[in-house]
Amino acid sequence: MRLRALRTPALLTALFSAFAAPLSAGSGFTILNGNTTPVGFSDPTPTAPVGGNPGLTLGEQRLIALRRATQIWGSLLDSAVEIRVQATFDSLDCSANSAVLASAGPIQILKDFPGAELPATWYPVALASKRAGTDLLAGDPSNTNLDDIRARFNVRLGDAECRAGSGWYYGLDVNHGTQTDFINVALHELAHGLGFLTLVDLETGQELMGFPDVFERRLFDTAAGNHWHAITAAERLASAVAVRRVVWDGPEVTAAIPGTLAPGTPLLTITFPAGIAGDLPVGAAAFGPPVSSQAVSGTLVLEQDAADPDGPSTTDGCSPLTNASELAGKIAFVDRGTCTFVTKARNAQAAGAIAMVVSDNVEGSPPAGLGGDDPAITIPSVRITLADGNAIKSNLVTGVTATLRVDLSQLAGADRTGRALMNATNPVDPGSSISHWDPVAFPNLLMEPSNSADLGHGVDLTLSLFRDIGWFADFDSDGVPDEQDNCRNVVNPSQADADRNGVGDECQRTVGLAPRRGSPRVVPGRP
C-alpha cells in the first residue's frame, strides 16, 4: 500500500484531464472516476450483489465500496469543505505472492494559508482547506490538478499471476474471507491522501523545497532526542533506517495508545548457545495463533525437504518434510522463498513442529510480518532477519534453543514510554518507511504498511494522528473547533454572544423560542 510520488506545486499540469464529472459523493467527499469503460470503476461486467453491496456491475460495486470508505472518513473528519478524490483501477506491481494493492497521496500541498497552525510548514490540500474553512484550491473538472487526493487500486489483484485467490472483496460487511477487503484498503489509501505521510525524500533526507511538513513535527527520533523538522537531512536519513527508534509523539495518539495496543512485543529469545543468546526482533504472522497467546520453548531444527519444482532448495519447506521425526515437538526453522508462508507453516505443522521460525532471504530489519491466511494452522509462526537466521544456522551443529515469547513490559507497537513506533526499516523502503506505523503493532492497525485481514473498517489510531496534525474535531462543521465552539451542535461561525454568558446567540435563541404551554409546573423541593 505504497504512497505514490505526489505532485508538488511546481508541477502543475493538467495530467488528469481525462477525469469525468463527479459521479458520487460521500459525506463531504466527491469521487472522480478516472476509468473509462470497460476498465476499473467503469467495468460493465455483470456481478451479483455481495455482502450488502447492491452493485450489479463490477464498476458499480467498486464505486459503492469506495463511497463507503469516503463516508467513514467523512463522518469522522468534520470538514465543511468538499474533498475531491481522483480514483482509478490501474495495473500496479504484482507477483504470485506479493502485490502493491493500491497507492495514494495528496495532489497538492500548501503552506502559510489562512488558518495554518504552523508557519512555513507544508499541509496536504484537504487539511489546509479544512483549516482555512474554504476550498483553497477549488475543484474544477477542466483543471483536475485542483482536486485533493489521487488514489490508484491494483486491477490485477487476484489474477493468475497476482496473488490468485486473494482478489478484491467489495462487500460492505467485512466478510472477505481469504480475499482482500477493498474498503479497508481504501480507508488506508485515503488516509495517506488526507495527511498520513511525510513529504521528506527518504533517499536524500531532504525536505520538500526546503520546508518541513506537518507530519515531521511529530516524528521524534528517540536516540537523537529531536523531531524530524529540527534535524539535518543527513540525520533524517540515519533516523529513517533506525529500526524501532522513530516514534510519533503527538498527544492525541499517545493518549489513545493504552486503549488501542495490547501488552506484549513478540520476541525470539535465544537461550543457548551463549554466543548468540539474547532477544531477536520478529515479524508476526497473519495466520495461526498470535505469539502473545502462548510462550513456546524448544530446540530449533532446520527443515529438510526435497529439491523439487515446488521448492528448489532442501531447506525451503515447500514440500512435505523429510525430517519429520526430528521436528516433532521442536521449533521448525526454515528459509523464506519460493512458496507461501502458509504452505511452509502447513508442512511444519504436519511434521509435528510446535512453532515455525522463517529466516528471511534478503537483508533488512526489522523482519516483516508473514502474510497469508489458513484457519487450519494452529502453531505460531514468525520471521527473523537474514543476519539473525545466518547466526543461528552457524550454531546449529551445537544445538540452538529458543523461546518464542512476548515482552509484556512493552505495548506491541509502542516504545517503552508508550509512544507509537513508526515504520523505520533498514534499508529504507521509500513507499513504506516512516509514513506507516511499525507493523509490530498489535492489534493490527489500519496504517501498517501491509493490509491485515483482521481489520474491520475502523480507523483506530489514524484519527488520533489526524487530530495531532490539525484535523480538529468540529461536530457541526462550522469551522469553529468543538473545544472553542459556544454552540457545538449549531452552525455559528460568528460565535456571536450578545449577553456574553459563554452560550452563543444561536443556541440561546433556540432555547428562547421553545413553545410554552401553561404555567411552569412547580415541583416541591426536597429537604
Of residues 290-309, those binding Zn ion (CB under 5 A)? none
| Candidates 1-9, 112-120, 219-227, 340-348; binding stretch for Zn ion (CB under 5 A) | 1-9
CB of 494 to Ca ion, least distance (A): 9
Residue 205 Ramachandran class (φ > 0 left, ψ -120 to 50 alpha, else beta) = left
CB of 305 to Zn ion, least distance (A): 35
One residue of 335, 360, 468, 476 binding Ca ion per CB under 5 A: 476
**Residue with Cβ nearer Ca ion (251 or 320):** 320
Task: Find which of Zn ion, Ca ion, none residue 252 binds, CB within 5 to 8 Å per kind.
Answer: none
SS (HEC) of 334-361: EECCCCCHHHHHHHHHHCCCCEEEEECC
Strands 296-302 and 331-335: parallel
Overall size of the chain counted in residues: 527
Q: Is 335 in the site for Ca ion (CB under 5 A)?
A: no
Per-residue mark of binding to Ca ion, 276-315 (x: CB under 5 A): -----------------------------x-----x----
How far apart CA 479 and CA 472 sit, in angstroms, is: 9
One residue of 60, 147, 415, 474 binding Ca ion per CB under 5 A: 474
Contact call for residues 3 and 435 (beta carbons, < 8 A): yes
Task: Find which of Ca ion, Zn ion, none residue 43 binds, CB within 5 to 8 Å per kind.
Answer: none
* Joined grid coordinates for residue 113: 494559508
Q: Is 6 in the site for Zn ion (CB under 5 A)?
A: no
How far apart CA 338 and CA 340 sit, in angstroms, is: 7
CB of 290 to Ca ion, least distance (A): 28
Radius of gyration for the chain, computed over Cα atoms and rounded to the nearest angstrom: 26
Q: How many residues bind Ca ion (CB under 5 A)?
A: 16
Of residues 506-525, those binding Zn ion (CB under 5 A)? none
Q: Give the count of beta carbons closer than 10 Å to the beta carbon of residue 201.
A: 15
One residue of 316, 326, 438, 448 binding Ca ion per CB under 5 A: 316
| Candidates 281-289, 363-371, 376-384, 480-488; binding stretch for Ca ion (CB under 5 A) | 480-488
**Residue with Cβ nearer Ca ion (286 or 487):** 487
Residue whose beta carbon is closest to Zn ion: 1
Q: Is 1 in the site for Zn ion (CB under 5 A)?
A: yes
Task: Find which of Ca ion, Zn ion, none residue 497 binds, CB within 5 to 8 Å per kind.
Answer: Ca ion
Of residues 178-207, those binding Zn ion (CB under 5 A)? none
Distances in whole angstroms, Cα of residue 373 to Cα of each of 74, 311, 358: 31, 20, 16
Residue 251 exposed, middle or buried by CB count within 10 Å (0-12, 13-18, 19+): exposed
CB of 352 to Zn ion, least distance (A): 38
How far apart CA 439 and CA 77 sit, in angstroms, is: 25
CB of 436 to Zn ion, least distance (A): 6
Residue for grid cell 495530467: 15
Distance of CA 424 to the CA centre of its chain: 14
Tell me the one-letter amino acid at 50.
V
Tell me the one-letter amino acid at 57.
T
One residue of 287, 503, 517, 522 binding Ca ion per CB under 5 A: 503
Residue for grid cell 526454515: 334
| Candidates 108-116, 284-292, 459-467, 508-516; binding stretch for Ca ion (CB under 5 A) | 508-516
Residues 168-181: b if buried by 16+ CB within 10 A, e if exposed: bbbbbebebeebbb
Contact call for residues 42 and 172 (beta carbons, < 8 A): no
Task: Find which of Ca ion, Zn ion, none residue 476 binds, CB within 5 to 8 Å per kind.
Answer: Ca ion
Binding-site ranges for Ca ion (CB under 5 A): 305, 311, 316, 318, 474, 476, 478, 480, 485, 487, 492, 497, 499, 501, 503, 508
Binding-site ranges for Zn ion (CB under 5 A): 1
